[in-house]
Amino acid sequence: MPIWRPFTAPFPWVHLSISTDVKHTPLLVSAAVPVAFACVVFVLLPAAESVRHLPSEAQSLEQAYHEESYMAGRVEAARQPKTAFSVDLVQGIATLSIEGAPVRVMPLESVRRSRLLTVAHGTAPDMPEVVSLRSDIPHIPVRLVHAPKDTVEAQSRPPDRVPEPDEPSFAVISMDHMELRLTSGSWSFARFRDQLKERYARPAVVPWVTLSLPPSDIRAIYRSLEPGAPVAMRLR
Amino acid sequence: MVTNSMKSILMGLQAGMLGALVLIWVAPTPRDVVASWWAPSTDSTATPAVDAARVQALTRRLDRRIPAGPYLVVSSTDNTFRLMKGTGLMREGPCSTGSYVLLKAGNDREWLFNTPRGVRRIESKRTKPVWVKPDWAFIEMGEPVPDAGSALRYERGVLGDYALSMGDGYLVHGTPYQRLLGLPVSHGCIRLGDADLEAVYGALPVGAPVYIY
C-alpha cells in the first residue's frame, strides 16, 4: 500500500489521480456539472431575479449620493416622532437623532459596500424606512419577575441580580431593497449563523453597506430603532 | 468492475461537489458582482445637480431643530446623560434608567419597568420631593396595597433633593443607591447623582426637552 494511502483515503480523487490512469475529459466534465449547477442556482438566477425586481420608477440611488438629497432626508426624518438614523459615508459618521436633535454621533471605524450600490440605480425609495431589525441580543432586554406572596417571601429572596451589559457582535437593519449591516469585528457564533442563513435561506441580492462600529454603538442603534424609523443615507 | 472512465467520472463528481460547496459558501460576492453587471447603469447626465443654496437652507432648517436652550439627552442603553445647551456640552455623567423587569402579580396585573424612548418635556420641578408609592412598590415587596390616601403611600428622602416631572409619573430624581448609577435598575424614572441632579435642576427650565434613546 502506498505510504500516502491513509491520508488520501477520505479524498478518493486525490488517491486515484495519483495511483491510476485518469481520463481527463470525463473527469473535467463531471466536475463541472455540480459547479455549474450551483453557479446557476445560487449566483445567476438570484442575481437575475433581483435585477428584474429593481423598481424602475423609484427614486434613483444616485440621488442618495448627493448631499442635497441626504439633507432633505434628514429634514424629513426630523418631522417624525420616531428615532431616526442617518449615515454619512463621506464624513464617516452615523447619527441617531430624535425630532432632528442629534442624540448620538458615532464615527465609523470602517465601511464596506455592495458593488451593486456603486453602479446600479433604482433601489432606494425617497425616504427609506426600517422594515425589520435583527441582532444577536434581544431588542428589549425584559427580565420576568414574579411578585412575592408576602414580605417574608420577599425578604428571603436573593437580591435582584443586575444584568451584565450585553454586547452585540452584529445588527442588521433591513429596509426596502437595501440592508445596513453593523458589525463590531469580533467573531461570534450568532453572526456566523446569521451569515449561513443569509447564504442559504435568502439568496436574493440585496445592496448592502457594512459599517464597523464599537459594540456599544451597535447596541444603542439597534435598541433605539424600530420598524418604520426613517433612515437618511449619503453614500458618496 | 469499475472502468477507468467510471472512476474518472466519480472522481470528477466528488471534486465538483466540493467545488460547488465552496461556490455556495462564497456565493454572495459573485451574486453581487453579476447583479451589478446586469443592473441598468447610472446615467450620470440624469442625476440632478446639487444646489448649494438649497443644501445650506436644509442645513439651517436642520440646525433649527436643535433646541437653543438647555436640554437633557439620556441613553437608556449606556445609562449615561448629557446636559446640553445648543450644540455645547454642559455636563455629562452616569444615570440609571429602567431595568426592563416585567413584574407579574398573581391577579393578572403586570408592570414593565422601562424608561420610554423619545422626547418628553419637563412639566414641573420641585424640591424635597415626596414619593407617592404606586401599587407596584408594595406588590414587588410582598406587602398589602394600602388605600389611595393612606399615609403608607408617602415616603420622604428616597427621591433625593430635587425632582423634575416629565409626565405620566416619570421623574428625573436623585437616589440613595448612588453606587448603582450607570446601571439599569430604576422603575422607569431617570436617577442622577446628587451633584448632577443639582446641576440639571438648576439648568433645565419647565418645558425643556428630554431626549431619551
Give the model confidence (pLDDT) of B94-144 as tens digits.
999 999 999 998 878 999 999 999 999 999 999 999 999 999 999 988 999
Q: Which residues of B touch A98 (CB under 8 A)?
A: 118-119, 211, 213
Specify the fold of A61-234.
Answer: L,D-transpeptidase catalytic domain-like (2.40.440)
Which pLDDT band, with edges at 50, 70 and 90, does A123 fall under? very low
In the numeric block, which cell numbers belong to residue A134?
A: 435583527
Q: Report domain extents, chain B.
A: 62-212
Kindly report the nearest CA distance between residue A1 and chain B, in angstroms: 19
Alpha carbons within 13 A on the beta-carbon side of A124 = 30
ipTM of this predicted complex?
Answer: 0.80
3-state secondary structure of A174: strand
Model-level pTM?
Answer: 0.79
Tens of pLDDT along A2-32? 555 666 666 666 665 555 566 778 888 888 9
Q: Which cell numbers in the block locate residue A121?
A: 440605480
SS3 B20: helix
User: Which residues 137-156 of B have a C-beta within 8 angstroms of A?
Assistant: 139-143
Every domain of chain A and the residues it spans: 5-52, 61-234
Residue B107: what pLDDT? 78
Optimal mutation site among A11, A17, A19, A42, interface B, most CBs of chain B within 10 A: A42
Q: Where are the alpha helices (DSSP H) in chain A?
A: 5-8, 12-19, 24-39, 45-52, 61-64, 67-78, 115-119, 151-156, 189-200, 215-224
CB proximity B88 to A under 8 Å:
no
What does the pLDDT look like over A39-70, one tens digit per residue? 988 888 888 777 666 544 334 455 555 778 88
Taking Cα atoms as reference points, which of B67, B80, B90, B103 lies closest to residue B208? B67
The pLDDT of residue B44 is 46
What does the alpha-carbon distance between residue A218 and residue A106 come to, in Å, rounded to a whole number? 10
Interface contact flag, A35 B35, Cβ < 8 Å: no
The verdict on a CB contact (< 8 Å) between A47 and B34 is yes
A204: pLDDT strictly greater than 70: no
Cα Rg of chain B (Å, integer) = 30
Best probe of the B interface among A14, A17, A21, A30, by most B CBs < 10 A, is A30
pLDDT in tens, A156-199: 877 666 777 788 899 999 987 788 999 987 778 888 888 787 77
Q: Which chain B residues are within 8 Å of A10, Cβ to Cβ?
A: none
Q: What is the pLDDT of residue B130?
A: 94
Q: In CATH, what is the architecture of B62-212?
A: Beta Barrel (2.40)
Identify the segments of chain B with pLDDT beneath 70: 1-2, 40-50
Mean pLDDT of A110-116: 84
Report CA-CA distances (Å) from B145 to A79, A149, B131, B139, B154. 43, 12, 15, 7, 13
Q: CB–CB of A67 and B55 under 8 A?
A: yes
Question: Which positions in chain A touch B9 (Cβ < 8 Å)?
Answer: 26-27, 30
Q: How many CA atoms lie within 13 A of B195 on its CB side?
A: 4
Residues of A in contact with B7 (CB under 8 A): 16, 20, 22
**Which grid coordinates belong to A133?**
431589525
Evaluate if residue A124 carries a pLDDT over 60: no
Kindly identify which residue of chain B lies nearest to residue A56, measuring between CA atoms: B40
Which grid cell sits at B160? 433625593
- DSSP class of residue A210 equals E
Chain mean pLDDT for chain A:
80
Chain B residues inside the 8 Å CB shell of A100: 62, 65-66
In B, residues 107-126, which contact A (CB 8 Å cutoff)?
Answer: 112, 114, 117-119
Backbone angles phi, psi at A7, to 5 degrees: -80, -30
Distances in Å between the Cα of A84 and the Cα atoms of A73, A229, B45, B66, B83 are 10, 6, 31, 14, 21
A147 pLDDT higher than 90: no
Sheet strands side by side (includes B110-112): A143-146, B101-104, B110-112
